[in-house]
Structure 1
Amino acid sequence: MKEQLLNLAKQRRSIYALGRNVNASEDDLANLIKETIKWAPTSFNNQTTRAVILFGDSHEKLWDIVAKRLKSEVPTEEAYQKTLQKINSFKSAFGTVMFYTDMAIVHRFESDFALYADNFKDWAEQGQGYAQFAVWTALAENGLGANLQHYNPLIDEEVKAAFNIPDNWQLRAEMDFGSIEAPAGDKEFMADEDRFKVLK
């Protein structure tokens, strides 16, 4: 069996020690991310996934927004300092992809295909999963690490104002990426017999 895709998937890990020792240009990385998302599947080919790709000051601005927003959510200063350390590790990366769902498209398909209306939000989430996995794997193929964060909906309004995000775009995840400064640890798996059935 050919295992090129499987081997690439094995390279895609949650890398938290990220840096800016990146040889690829911002334009090349942006094009890679855009093309990868374009080729990720969506239900009815409705293309609900949107992305905002941040580099430089814009990348840092996002994580400053996260840090400021969480200040009011963390109960103690000690806990906040730990949170801030984590956020600063994301800020130390080379860039961030903010993944969005265009809810206007979701609602249009709910109206146009009433028989399946209850499914389009779920299917849009599946589209998000495809796109996020594909981008993550494409970055890994090019020697870059990434991790996926979910500070939405806490930061939604601040981010929308800061980056001029359309009202109908719903933030689903934030993926910071950069050079791999330390590898991921070993990955553990549950027993196959608890997870899979093969029937013949």
Structure 2
Amino acid sequence: MKTLEKSLFTALRERRSIYGISKESPISDQSIQEIIEETVKHTPSAFNNQTTRVVLLLGEQHNKLWDITTEVLKALVPTEQFSSTQEKMNGFRNGYGTVLFFEDQSVIDSFMKQFPSYQEHFPIWSQQTNGMHQLVIWTALEAEGLGVNLQHYNPLIDERVKAEWNLPENWKLTAQMPFGKPTASAGEKKFNPIQERIKVFK
């Protein structure tokens, strides 16, 4: 993985939802894997419980995910409305790969038992660390020239995904992140007044 030359805030500003993606990548598979490994190793979690699990799907494995998702949705979406759904699925399948994000429920349950005073918070903290992992990987992939977007077809595809890749039953799917070389730019992004979103007291 080459050293990212962009500053943190430049990378954050340029992190956008890119839906036009192709089956190309400006970086190697090894570099993509290293981004994920560094993220999973160094992203913080409550009590350092390290609940997030990540699966990287490339090539035919990536295609298979979106074929599965298409099959599941086809059984649920009315036929007359399915064409737009199929178009979305084709767009994701056109990408180079997909990152799947999970939370290990067995670890969460274990910490809930170890620290009963905080047990109601561990599921919330779990989602927070998963979101941090998503942001770091998204920003890093974008900084390396990839287009990325984030999807949530869980829990509809959960069982099929676990069965297809023989994943532990206690891994709970939280998000799917298709990526590839951008073929279109992001749309305009509007921002609410920052003064309404931040308060400073001195």
| Percent of aligned pairs sharing the same letter | 45
Report matched runs for 1:107-118 at 5 Å: 107-118=109-120
Partner of residue 39, structure 1: 42
2:36, 2:140 → 1: CA distance?
Answer: 8
Q: CA deviation at 1:195?
A: 1.7
Q: Which residue of 1 aligns with 2:73?
A: 70
The corresponding residue for 2:178 is 176
Where 1:134 maps in the other structure, the secondary structure is helix
2:194 to 185, 192, 198: 192
**In structure 2, the residue corresponding to 1:118 is in which secondary structure?**
coil
Query: In structure 2, which of residues 4, 7, 17 is the aligned counterpart of residue 4 of structure 1?
Result: 7
Q: Which residue of 2 aligns with 1:164?
A: 166
Match of 2:140 in 1: 138
Please tell me whether the aligned partners of residues 37 and 134 of structure 1 are also in contact (alpha carbons under 8 angstroms).
Answer: no
Secondary structure of the structure 1 residue equivalent to 2:91: helix
Task: Give runs of ≥4 in structure 1 deviating > 2 Å.
Answer: none
- The CA distance in 1 between the partners of 2:11 and 2:27, in whole Å, is 19
Mean Cα deviation higher: 16-25 or 166-175:
16-25
For 1:138-158, what per-residue CA distance to the aligned partner results, in whole angstroms no more than 9, with x for missing partners? 001101110000000000111
Task: Confirm or deny: 8 A CA contact 2:26 2:181 kept in the other structure.
Answer: no
| Local SS of the residue matching 2:180 | strand
Alpha-carbon shift at residue 74 of structure 1 (Å): 1.0
Q: How many residues align?
A: 197
Which residue, out of 147, 150, 175, partners 1:148?
Answer: 150
Q: Please list the CA deviations of residues 129-179 of structure 1 after superposition, one character each: whole Å capped at 9, or x if unmatched.
A: 100000000001101110000000000111111111100100000000110
Please tell me whether residue 48 in structure 1 is matched to residue 42 in structure 2.
Answer: no
Whether the 8 Å CA contact 1:42–1:124 is kept in 2: the answer is yes
Q: Distance in 1 between matches of 2:195 and 2:27?
A: 42
Q: Report the Cα distance in structure 2 between the residues aligned to 1:158 and 1:9, rounded to whole angstroms.
A: 33
**8 Å Cα contact 2:14/2:142 also seen in 1:** yes
> Which secondary structure does the structure 2 equivalent of 1:170 belong to?
strand
Q: Is the 8 A contact 1:150 1:173 kept in 2?
A: yes
Structure-2-length-normalised TM-score = 0.94
Could you tell me the TM-score, scaled by structure 1's length? Answer: 0.95
* Corresponding residue SS for 2:53: strand
Contact 2:74 2:82 (C-alpha < 8 Å) held by counterparts: yes
Residue 68 of structure 1, CA deviation = 0.3
Give the alignment partner of residue 31 of structure 2, picking from 9, 28, 32: 28
| Residue 27 of structure 2 corresponds to residue 19 of structure 1 | no
Mapped partners of 1:78, 1:85: distance in 2: 13
- 1:41-67 per-residue CA deviation (whole Å, 9 max, x = no partner) reads 111111100011000111000000000
Letter paired with 1:142? E
2:104 corresponds to which residue? 102
